[in-house]
Chains A and B, each alone.
Chain A
Amino acid sequence: MKFTKTLLLMLCLSLAMVGFAQAGKDLDAVKKKGFIQAGVNGGVFGFGMPDEKGVWKGLDVDTARAVAAAIFGDSSKVKFTPLTAQQRFTALQSGEIDVLTRNATRTLSRDTQLGLNFVTVNYYDGQGFLVPKKLGVKSAKELDGATVCVLPGTTTEQNAADFFRNNKMKMNPVVIESTSELAKTFFAGRCDVLTSDASQLAGTRAVAPNPLDYALLPEIISKEPLAPAVRHGDDQFRDIVDFSVLAMINAEELGITSKNVDEMMKSKNPVIMRFLGTTEGNGKSLGLDEKWAYNIIKQVGNYGEVFERNVGVNTKLGLERGLNALWTNGGLMYSPPFK
């Protein structure tokens, strides 16, 4: 029959366009294809978003670049797949991507039930509240009966509802689908308070008609440790992704930047020598080139540089280091010794 024939033909055509990636260990597969496929957000400024020229920018994007620099010695050997919140874990499970750097919060259920392994946190976020100063509110506990602008379908909505209920306050949510519309509504005065992750709120305030009219409340009502993730099943690859993030943190602690890393190669400090691979050993343990950490710092930068470049005080987001400062500066960024 013509119809069945056409169906068969379509099936054959679509199968012909199917590509078989090499099954097996993730690291081998990555090395074989010659690049890393990283899942990123695609719509969050400062974390993962293309710029006007279509070049990917952001903290998560740079994290993926660091992994590429560690494995291939070339931070450009990474391809980005923009993913929605719903797609992100499936894409990792199905092998469409090798590593997920898409501001995903590490939780117990995600780490276990979804068959994923989260590595070191590359950004500590938390949900906060933004209010107009003229509201005269100093604490989130005073928000009884407030109209709250919130994005639908995220944990944000749930967290806010929980917070209000726990404090025996009434909340009138105004739910709006898109971030930019949400900000517009808030600035137009349709709601008293805007709630979202603190990193987002800072960005929103930055684009307010008059940023000084708005203030972030001190309460952070949820923990959002954002971490890269890989699939279960290849511990070596997991280690590499983990230590790529840690290398950036460690470099900042050691005072190594992309500018001075070549100087530092001549250092006689044994800690630095081990870290940068002038004393061999770390690379071999990870199954990488001894220069892996050098390549990350040289091509991508240390954590502080990456932070300041993408989300720091001089960017549109204008975020303080806060929890994301080094442990020596009162933050949570802490790397185990590289030995």
Chain B
Amino acid sequence: MSVPEQATREYLDAPIRKIGALAWLKENLFNNWYNSLLTVLTLLALCYVVPPFFKWAFVDSLWNTSAEACRDIEGACWSIVPNNIKFIILGFFPEGQEWRPILAMILLLSLVIYSKEWTRWNKYLGWLWVAGLIVMGTLMYGGVFGMPVVETAQWSGLPLTMMLSFFGMVAAYPLGVLLALGRRSKMPAIKTLCVVYIEMIRGVPLISLLFMSSIMFPLFLPDGMTIDKVLRAQVAIILFTAAYIAEVVRGGLQAMPRGQYEASDSLGLNFRQTMRLVILPQALKIVIPPTVGILLSAFKDTSLVVIIALYDVLKTTKVTLSNPKWTGYSTEAYIFLAVLYFICCYAMSSYSRRLEKDLHTGH
């Protein structure tokens, strides 16, 4: 006859030292002398930095006042942001037409958010994108349905940043994949062309490409012919990003075991089918993390267009700071900008992590 096992068991509480906040502290922060020392030092540093910052940013600060009111306070003058928000975000977009870029941005965001689920990727989504982009272009440029024309020279602020980075990424990605395939091609002409292109672009900083597109390039054009400034910057960004993506994708391609190629060959797949059905889906999946790294830096690099006097969101902020009324509140303005950039970048990287997990097939 067996006694139910349960009855013989002693019910003990978990030892107090193993759980709870105190135990956690001891386990993680004070588990030996140097960790304890580091913890204490860090805490001291935080005590030294955080309260003054908190006081500056939240206690002594003004949030929505005139510039004059800010002169008398010690704390942060966040008023610079609400007072100039229209110019910082939308730049030169004509008054009364602000809804157009805002709507365009919302449209772009909702399309991006909808497309997040990779299960939704199909032909119809593609057409939805085409339609969406046409609507966005119409909204920005106008000229139909009684919307006055707004030239690209007036596109500025956040819409410009989003446009440059979005189209920079979207156009650079396929171009980069093609370049990577070209570099591994057995045809010498194509291979050389791709190698030269990639190495040349990677050999120069983005700033010099932007300078070339804005200063040297116009001199080569015939007299009186000009190419849109925004377009020139956009092309420079695309060409630049593509070269970097090409190298990352090439890494992915090289990581594919030979067996994969041989297996596709034995199945009778031709080059295109091999690439489309077997190699690229695996290779591109492997390189998601570095690709996202490049896309993130491409997004941040778009702020370099300030040097060719395009008014992206960084430049509009800088211009606001040149106004003597607001000079001196650069810290506040740049913090606002940093938050803006962080939100965008964090959204991208957390999405990439999810995509990586979703697509993970595991071995």
Residues of A within 8 A of B (CB): 1-4, 6, 10, 14, 17-24, 29, 42-45, 49-54, 79, 81-84, 86-87, 90-91, 93-96, 178-181, 183-184, 187, 203-204, 206-207, 209, 316-317
Majority secondary structure of chain B interface residues (helix, strand, loop or mixed): helix
B-side interface residues toward A, CB under 8 Å? 71, 83-84, 86-87, 90-95, 151, 153, 156, 174-175, 178-179, 181-182, 187, 190, 194, 211, 214-216, 218-219, 221-229, 231, 235, 307-309, 311, 318-325, 327-328, 330
- Provide the residues of chain A in CB contact with B94, threshold 8 Å: 54
Q: What are 6 A-B pairs with beta-carbon distances under 8 A?
A: A19-B227, A42-B311, A49-B322, A81-B153, A91-B218, A94-B218
Contact: A316 with B324, CB < 8 Å? yes
- Contacts A45-B324, A178-B318 given; indicate if A90 touches B178 (C-beta within 8 A): no
Known A17-B231, A21-B226, A87-B308: A44·B322 in contact at CB below 8 Å? yes
Rounded to whole Å, the gap between the CB of A48 and the closest CB of chain B is 10
Tell me whether A52 and B84 are in contact in the complex, defined as CB-CB below 8 angstroms, given that A17-B227, A184-B330, A203-B324 are known contacts: yes
Q: Are A22 and B224 in contact (CB under 8 A)?
A: yes
CB distance from A138 to the nearest CB of B (A): 27
- Report the bound CA distance from A25 to B270 in whole Å: 59
Closest A residue, CB atoms, query B217 = A94
Q: Name the distance in Å between A182's Cβ and chain B's nearest Cβ.
A: 10
Tell whether A54 pairs with B87 under 8 Å between CB atoms, given A21-B225, A84-B307, A87-B215: yes
Complex CA gap A19/B230 in Å reads 13
**Closest beta carbon of chain A to B38's beta carbon, Å:** 32
Interface pair B224/A45, CB less than 8 Å apart: no
Contact A23 B223 (CB under 8 A): yes
Q: Which 3 A-B pairs have the closest CB atoms?
A: A94-B218, A23-B224, A316-B324
| CB < 8 Å neighbour of A180 from B190, B225, B226, B321 | B321
A51 to B83, CA, bound (A): 11
Complex formed: what's the CA distance from A90 to B156 in Å?
22
Contact yes or no, B323 A54, CB < 8 A: no
A338 to B265, CA, bound (A): 86
Contact A316 B325, beta carbon cutoff 8 Å: yes
- A79 and B308 within 8 A (CB): no
Q: Which residues of B contact A87 (CB under 8 A)?
A: 214-215, 308-309
Whether A90 lies near B218 (C-beta < 8 A) is yes
